[in-house]
Every structure is written in C-alpha cells, then in structure tokens.
A and B are shown apart, each in its own frame.
Chain A
C-alpha cells in the first residue's frame, strides 16, 4: 500500500496534467499544481532546516572530524535566520507606521542587508570566480591533440577563445572586407551559430525525447525505483 498510493497519485496527476494541456477548461490545473508544489517545497524547508540543525549539532556534540566547521555553519544559519525573520533593524513601512514588522526584511542598512551585502554576496561571487581557476587547470589537463577530432576541437577552441576578446579582432584586422567572414570574431560567431547550433539541437532533441520517455515510464509506473521499490532493479 505504501508504494501503491504514490504510484496511483503519480499516474492520475500525470495523465490529468497531460490532458489538461489540450482542454481549455483544465488549463489552469498545471498552474495550480505548480502552486501546490511550491507549498510543499515551502514546508520542506522546515524539514531541511531541522535536518541541517540535527546533523551539525550531532557533529559538534560527537566532536567529529571538522566539527569546527559545523559550529560556524550553525552560527551563520541561526544569526541569519534571527535577523531575517525578526526583521531586526528594519523600519516600519510608511503605509503601516504603527506596525513595527511591516518593513521590508532586506531594507538597506539593516543587519540582514549587511549580511547579504558583505558576507553572502562576496562569498558566492568568490565561489563562482573559482571557475576561472578550474577551467585553466582542466584545459591544461584535458585538451590533448590525440587524434584528428581532438585537433579539430583544439582549433575550434582557439578560434572561440580568441574571438571572444579583442585579440581576435586585432589578429585579423588586416583581412580585406571581402574576406570578412574569415575574421576571427566573425568565425567564432559562425562556429557558434552553425556547428554548435546543429550539435546542440541534436543533443536537445535526444534529451527532449529522453525526458518524455522517462516521464511516461514514471507516470505508467514502469520505473518506480525513485520510490525505493525493488521491482525495476536487477
């Protein structure tokens, strides 16, 4: 029964939603279910937050390896939650001056805004910026002219890398207008628009069919391994 009910819910919801796409009277159903999902996901935040506290409090109490990180995590979590939910330092909204909680939680100058501006923003930007370093190390390790295909890939990579900067313009600025298609900046756009688009479309079509087929398997209950069922496993 524990498996059967979710399977039926999945099947009915899936079929109804597919049908609703074609029936104008039911077209609002898709929107309605996405709102339901948001409500569920909203409640799940409590589940996630509770789990986060549990896992890291346990690490701290067990003095497990790296428990210091858990202390920092818990402190950051609780402080942000407190200043955000409590709207600490936020002025009331001009529309409701008597209600101290009516202001915007991230008002400029409030502690939450401060955390966002001077902790969250630089930290996430730092993580994203690390990509530059990893791209350099990955290209040093992975790009090898092992065969003809790899040589073509290397050549294309060089054209794109040059074409996305002024170096491309500079290197082929001497080419006459009649050969402007061979200028590196134009070549790079051509490669992206023609070769890359053709390849992308093929991959995207394959993915789209894969998505449709997987969705159908889930709706029909053919693939039920996400429920922890042993049925579709070897």
Chain B
C-alpha cells in the first residue's frame, strides 16, 4: 500500500506540473549481484550511480524486474514494478525472488510466453530462474529517463541464513546453559527447587479418591502430540499413574486425539509396571472420545456428573472448555489440580480449581516430580534464559530512556543518536 500511495503521489505531482516536460538523465552503472549477506536465495542487491539530474529534476527511481530465462529457455521480457524509491537513493535489495520454478507453475502462469512443449521435452521438473532488473529515473514532472538494465542473474542460496545469526547465538547460549547444568547435576552438584503446592497435592488427591472408592480423572488437554503442552501433560500422567497404581486407584483418561490415547496407554502401562502392579493396568480406561472440542467436553462433563470422580487433573492445552470442566468438577466436590501454558485459561483454572500450575510451573512439574538431578539441572538452565531476557529488557529500557533524555536536551547529540541506533539494532537485527 505504501508503494501504491507513493506511486500515486508521483503521478499526482506529475499532473500538477504538467506544462514542464524536462527529461531527467538516466541512472547509470546499474549492477545486480547476489545479496551480500548470507540468505535463503530470494534476494538480489541492486546498486547504481545517481542520475546527473538527481538533485534537480529527479523525483524518484522506478525499479522493475522481469523474468529472463527458465533454465536455458529465453522468456520475452515483461517488466513489473518492484518499488519506487526516492531521489538520492543509490541501492536497493529486491526480495521475494525465486531461485527455481516448477514446470507446473510455468504452465499455470507463463504458458502464453514460453513453449511448454520444449520445456517438457527436457524431462526436468524444475528450472532455474534468471531475472533482469531495470531502473528508470522519474522526473518531478512525470517525465521518465531512458532505462538502465542489468544482465540476467539468478539469486544464490547459501548454506546458512545470515538473517538468523543472532537467533542462533541465543539458541546456542540457552541450549548450552541447559546442557551445562544438566551435566553439572549429573556430576552430583545438589540443586534446589522451590515447593510447588499443586504438585504436592497429587498424592493427597489420589489418596482421597482411593479412600472414597471413587475414580481419578486425568485430561491431557485437547491438542495433539505435536503440542509440547500435551507432552508435558503426558509426563505428569506418568507420575499420577504411578501413584494411582500404588494406591490401587482407578485412573480414567479420556482423550480428544487418537495419538494421545496411544501415547497415554504406553505411559500408564509403563508407570504401572514401574510401580510393581502391571496386572492392575486396564487399557480400556484410556480411550478416545472425539477430536471435536465441545463434543469431547460434553462427554467428559456427562461422565463427571455420572461417575463423580474424586480427583480431577487437567494438564495440557485447554481452551474454552477449561471453565466448563473445572466448574463441573467443583460441583461434584472433586479435588482439582490444573496445569496449562494457555495464558487465557489460567484465570478460569485459578478460580475453579484447588491448585493450578501456571505456565512454566507446568513445564517444571516433570522435573519436580521426578526429582531427577538431570531434569532439575534443566530448570537451572532455564533460569539462565530468564536472566538473559531480564538483562535484555533492562538494557533496552535504560538505553532507550537515556537516548530519549539526551536527544530531548541536545537534539542531534552523537551519543544519543548512537544509543538510539544501538536500540534499533537490538530490535531489528538481534531480536528479529
């Protein structure tokens, strides 16, 4: 849209100054080369010498691109506008280019300009794409200069995407910290973790259900196994199942996804085995209901009202059903423990459940419950991530506030500008 508005303004300017028809001198030495930073093969850098009339007659430069070749097959040049840049600009990076094109796409889009049969005769499925670029100086009165055109060029894909360099650094630091603390913990260094009441309550809840002769209900969220919350929920299920096995309590797990059912069965069976009660495992208590969100809720709600489980666990990804389930559980007097990383559902669980694991507590639960040194080590590594984020926020806020104060006091101050540029670099390059 910005492009359209600017183009329009160029047209309107030209209409307003209709009588003058001075033609600007063209841009010269137009060079096209592969993007100088490592990229995914979608960008070409253009550079040109400004028109001799840049400061007087030129309002803007119009950059166009055209397909030149599909492999060895020439294509008649049909230029399309890429961008209009203001006078004084001598370089531009054209993005969103293709390196290769599939034959079927050529058939769809370019059947009128290339001989499809010759392309098909090559038996190739894809063809490298070469582009030519053109630049035209547009005068303030709308007159256009002669065009400067580049030879055909194909963007190159590098083995590493340079735009993601800083992200890689952050990933390495974070993963490194987690792995480092896991190793430290393996080495026997004691690690402490604060008490999480919701997890302490699991034993109590299962115990109470056993005393009352009622079942435990476990809902591992309503998303599939490709969601990390479901995996975290299944991890906690392992512990709940082990407790249920040792108390000889009935544990029912209705699932909303077939793959979750299959995984939950493996998990619960393993937990019963680990608890020394493999015979008590009942496969048919872990079953699939439906993928449909409210169909699932209707089933679970009906089941809760009829069977009145004494302990309900909601651990995973939840949406609107969170309150429906938790309020129903509350109405039947069950002890309820919930854990989710869906921020929108946390208030509902907090209001209706006895204990709620909020966000990262939910992910820490597996480590907390197992007490395994390795897993506790990963929590410590997570803390390093938090420190980095915290420092980033503090540094960013201080730099931006200082830049604002300095530039308010003395506009154009080099230090203030440098700070502002640093913040922009932090935002646009490091954190993008």
- Is B truly associated with A? yes
Which residues of A are interface residues toward B (Cβ below 8 A)? 18, 21-25, 27, 34, 37, 40-41, 44-45, 47-48, 51-52, 55, 58, 65-66, 69, 73, 123-124, 127-128, 130-131, 134-135, 137-139, 141-143, 200, 203-207, 209-218, 220, 222-223, 225-230, 232-234
Please tell me if the beta carbons of A23 and B161 are within 8 angstroms of each other in the complex: yes
Among A41, A58, A209, A230, the residue within 8 A (CB) of B386 is A209
Please tell me if the beta carbons of B327 and A138 are within 8 angstroms of each other in the complex: yes
Contacts of A48 in B (CB 8 A): 257-258, 261, 288, 291
Any A CB within 8 A of the CB of B395: no
Please tell me if the beta carbons of B324 and A226 are within 8 angstroms of each other in the complex: no
Contacts of A218 in B (CB 8 A): 231
Which of B81-89, B109-117, B204-212, B358-366 forms contacts with chain A?
B358-366
In the complex where A44-B258, A138-B327, A228-B267 touch, is A214 in contact with B232 (Cβ < 8 A)?
Answer: yes
Among A130, A210, A217, the residue within 8 A (CB) of B362 is A210
Please tell me if the beta carbons of A233 and B271 are within 8 angstroms of each other in the complex: yes
* Distance, CA A220 to CA B378, complexed state (A): 11
Any A CB within 8 A of the CB of B411: no
* Distance, CA A27 to CA B164, complexed state (A): 12
Please tell me if the beta carbons of A225 and B352 are within 8 angstroms of each other in the complex: no
Restricting to B369-385, which residues have a CB under 8 Å from any CB of A? 369-372, 374-375, 378-379, 381-382, 385
Which residues of B are interface residues toward A (Cβ below 8 A)? 39-41, 157-161, 164, 167-168, 171, 174-175, 178-179, 182, 224, 226, 228, 231-232, 234-235, 238-239, 242, 257-259, 261-263, 266-271, 273-274, 284, 287-295, 297-299, 302, 306-307, 320, 323-324, 327, 330, 341, 343, 346, 348, 351-352, 358-360, 362-364, 366-367, 369-372, 374-375, 378-379, 381-382, 385-386, 389
Measured CB to CB, the closest approach of chain B to A126, in angstroms, equals: 8
Please tell me if the beta carbons of A222 and B378 are within 8 angstroms of each other in the complex: yes
Contacts of B369 in A (CB 8 A): 233-234
Contacts of B293 in A (CB 8 A): 124
Please tell me if the beta carbons of B375 and A232 are within 8 angstroms of each other in the complex: yes
* Distance, CA A147 to CA B57, complexed state (A): 72
Contacts of B359 in A (CB 8 A): 203-204, 206-207, 210
Among A18, A24, A66, A124, the residue within 8 A (CB) of B158 is A24
Please tell me if the beta carbons of A134 and B324 are within 8 angstroms of each other in the complex: yes
Residue of A nearest to B267 (CB): A228
Contacts of B323 in A (CB 8 A): 131, 134-135, 138
Among A24, A211, A232, the residue within 8 A (CB) of B40 is A24
Main secondary structure of the interface of B (DSSP, over half): helix
Measured CB to CB, the closest approach of chain B to A213, in angstroms, equals: 4
Please tell me if the beta carbons of A226 and B235 are within 8 angstroms of each other in the complex: yes
In the complex where A24-B41, A207-B341 touch, is A213 in contact with B382 (Cβ < 8 A)?
Answer: yes
Please tell me if the beta carbons of A216 and B375 are within 8 angstroms of each other in the complex: no
* Distance, CA A141 to CA B289, complexed state (A): 31
Please tell me if the beta carbons of A214 and B231 are within 8 angstroms of each other in the complex: yes
Contacts of B157 in A (CB 8 A): 24-25
Contacts of B389 in A (CB 8 A): 205, 209
Contacts of B287 in A (CB 8 A): 51-52, 55
In the complex where A142-B351, A227-B270, A233-B271 touch, is A51 in contact with B343 (Cβ < 8 A)?
Answer: no
In the complex where A142-B351, A223-B366, A225-B235 touch, is A232 in contact with B270 (Cβ < 8 A)?
Answer: no
Please tell me if the beta carbons of B348 and A138 are within 8 angstroms of each other in the complex: yes
Please tell me if the beta carbons of A225 and B179 are within 8 angstroms of each other in the complex: no
Name 11 interchain pairs, CB-CB below 8 A, sorted by A: A18-B171, A24-B159, A24-B160, A24-B161, A44-B257, A51-B288, A65-B306, A207-B341, A213-B379, A216-B175, A233-B370
In the complex where A130-B324, A207-B359, A223-B235 touch, is A66 in contact with B271 (Cβ < 8 A)?
Answer: no
Contacts of B372 in A (CB 8 A): 222, 232, 234
Among B167, B174, B228, B284, the residue within 8 A (CB) of A214 is B228
In the complex where A27-B40, A138-B327, A211-B363 touch, is A206 in contact with B238 (Cβ < 8 A)?
Answer: no
Please tell me if the beta carbons of A227 and B267 are within 8 angstroms of each other in the complex: yes
Contacts of B270 in A (CB 8 A): 225, 227-230
Measured CB to CB, the closest approach of chain A to B349, in angstroms, equals: 10
* Residue of A18, A58, A142, A207 ringed by the most chain B CB atoms within 10 A: A207
* Distance, CA A215 to CA B178, complexed state (A): 11
Among A44, A220, A222, A229, the residue within 8 A (CB) of B262 is A44
Please tell me if the beta carbons of B182 and A21 are within 8 angstroms of each other in the complex: no
Contacts of A211 in B (CB 8 A): 228, 341, 363
Measured CB to CB, the closest approach of chain A to B45, in angstroms, equals: 17
Known contacts A52-B289, A213-B381, A223-B367, then 20 further A-B pairs from the complex at CB < 8 Å, ordered by chain A residue: A21-B164, A24-B41, A65-B307, A127-B294, A131-B324, A134-B324, A203-B346, A209-B360, A210-B341, A213-B178, A217-B367, A220-B179, A223-B366, A225-B234, A225-B235, A225-B238, A228-B269, A232-B372, A233-B242, A233-B370
